Amino acid sequence: MFSSNDKKDQRPLSGATKQKIMEILLEGPRSLGEITDKLQIQKSAVRVHLQSLQSEKAVESHFKIERLGRPRKIYSLTENGREVFPRKYDLILSLILKKITEINGKEQARKIIESVADDIATNIRYEIEKNGHLNNFEKSLQILNSVSNDMGFASSIAKEHNGSFSVLSKNCILHKVALNHQDVICHSLHDRMIIKSLSGEKQQLNPNVELKECIARGDNFSRHAITKRS
């Protein structure tokens, strides 16, 4: 027979409990026993949730060797897990851009953002070259799209009837910043990243990129029309 406390410990765990586990791990790495003690529920139930969080790549584990006794399995948050908690990237970036503009002027702020776009494009061109697609327009776009998705743009490629392509982005990763700095973010960063990714010294794609729809302008998505100049 279970006591009343035992029955309470048998209750099913919810998503809220997963969140509590992550909040515990945000304080620092913990063992299964330490997490269980804080939650006051059965180890088996906590273990199931930890396994789930590991499969979601939100939590990782390693063995810690103690001076006495067997090594202990320790759980900690991954970077993906930390991303679940609020981070005001957009606010900080917006303040940085504002300060740069106040001190050095709008043109200097634009040059810095363009330099960031160029660095991102250099990495994308490296992936394109590594895969042997420097002068393959469609394959290059597919790699660009893959990187855009990794960045969080939730993008896709569509081939138009005239042979041109559209890159559709359902998410603006810097939406709040773009609202106040549309020209710098939408053109000096996003447009330029696409153009420079497809127009390196070893490439002969010579793309024309035009922003047709834009989330920062109130559209439901951003769409870049991309054509290969003759």
SS (H, E, C) 11-39: CCCCHHHHHHHHHHHHCCCEEHHHHHHHH
Q: Which sequence spans correspond to the domains of the chain?
A: 4-82, 105-228
Domain 105-228: top CATH class: alpha beta
**Segment 82-91, tens digit of pLDDT:** 888 877 788 8
- The CATH-assigned architecture of domain 4-82 is Orthogonal Bundle (1.10)
Query: What pLDDT is recorded for position 2?
Result: 32
Query: What pLDDT is recorded for position 15?
Result: 78
pTM above 0.75, yes or no: no
4-82 against 105-228: fold identical:
no
Query: Is residue 230 over pLDDT 80?
Result: no
